[in-house]
Amino acid sequence: MIKLFWTAFIRLSLRLLGRPMWLLLLISVSLMSLVYSNGTIIDLPIAVVDMDHTTSSRDLIRSLDTSAKIKVKLYDNSWQAYQDINERKLFAVIMIPRNFEKRLLSGETITIPAYGDASSRLVNGLIQRDLQTIYQQILTNFNTKIMLNNGFSPQQISIILSPIKGQTEALYNAGVSFAAITLPGLLVMLLQHSFLIASTRTNITLNSLPQGKPPKIIFIGSLCGLLPIWLFLSLVLFGLWPWILGYRQLATLPDILMMSLPLLLGTLGLSKLLTECLRHIEMIYLTLAFLTTPVFYLSGTIWPLDAMPLWVQFVSKLLPSTWATNMIAGVNQMGANLSDNWDNIFMILLLGFIYGSLGIFIAALRDGRVRRYFRHRFKHRLH
């Protein structure tokens, strides 16, 4: 038995290494990641119409221009700026009002009109955040100078202007913000989808051999022969690739293997069920290709699970990838501990066991083994 297992294991592993079609997954991820190659959006053009022409207004313009995400373009009048924003040459128009410095020195409330292109939420949010930060910095510097001139010490100024010192800690939160982590969720989908195709194809091929079905130990050995290849892919996808793209990388390589192995085992159970439902290799590509996108949306990567209807949440939690996305993205990018994810690992393995058992039952039902079993039990009771 052990010899048959290792023979099947080594034979399939060598076949995959001899024809490394699985490397297409890495090529696909490389092409997909080109959209992230810039890292972030920089040099967003905005118009500034200076109607005050004072030292304070010029300081504000210089502060805006030093921002990494904003590129300032000066305009003499607001009409030309509005014309350019309508023609998509600008993303925002900022008006520095008259008497800006005078009202600032007298402590009056100042309103700086800013008009943004709301068609891009990402760009609009970045500009708005930079504007608020820069304006707050200018006010802090201005208030500091006034208090120094009135005899306050630097320590007193620091206590008055910043009475609370904030400190940022990385915490795991699988709420609405979790929907923004699209790349790790997409990588989970690609890993599951490619492994599901490979394992289902292996199952169907072994079931349709001309000499008949091989022993079950050959099935187990062949399917286990897939695991080293996809465990290596998981290290590349969840370990090497986030590091190349500059993502937060919090999980160690052993942690990645600990999270990837349950996903692959759960997918093996699902592949057994799909094998008995599809029965033909060509059906794999006619069905699974159309299921990846719905599964991706149901995983909670694009939209948080809590915002879905209850029956959609139920369907989502029947998929191993949903639990795997929550676990892998949570540990690797969001600061969760692996010890806090045993429930995710348990659910993935439980779903794999349930799907595998259903597949075995369907196979036994199709082969007549279930009917023969109950017939034998019925005859035994009669005697």
- Report the CATH architecture of 44-161: 3-Layer(aba) Sandwich (3.40)
Mean pLDDT score, 30-51: 75
DSSP string, 190-227: HHHHHHHHHHHHHHHHHHT-TT-PPPHHHHHHHHHTTH
- pLDDT value for 376: 67
Distance CA 6, CA 153 (A): 77
Q: How confident is the model at residue 347 (pLDDT cuts 50, 70, 90)?
A: very high
Q: DSSP letter at 213?
A: P
What token pair was written down for 196?
A: 């599901």
Q: DSSP letter at 383?
A: -
| Greatest mean pLDDT range, 133-137, 161-165, 366-370 | 133-137
> In this predicted model, which residue has the larger pLDDT, 268 or 374?
268
207: left (phi over 0), alpha (psi -120 to 50) or beta: alpha
Q: Is pLDDT of 235 > 60?
A: yes
- The CA-atom distances, in angstroms, between 101 and each of 42, 63, 67, 110 are 29, 15, 22, 10
Nearest to 318 by CA among 285, 286, 358: 358
- pLDDT value for 262: 93
- pLDDT value for 130: 78
> In this predicted model, which residue has the larger pLDDT, 303 or 378?
303
Q: Is pLDDT of 98 > 80?
A: yes
pTM above 0.85, yes or no: no
Domain limits of the chain? 2-36+178-378, 44-161
- pLDDT value for 170: 55
Q: Is pLDDT of 122 > 80?
A: no
Number of H helices, E strands in the chain: 17, 4
- The CA-atom distances, in angstroms, between 229 and each of 21, 95, 195, 199, 351 are 11, 59, 10, 12, 23
What's the chain's Rg over C-alpha atoms?
30
Summarize pLDDT for 177-234 with one digit per residue, the tens.
444 467 777 888 888 888 888 888 888 888 887 777 788 888 888 888 889 989 998 9
Mean pLDDT score, 148-173: 73
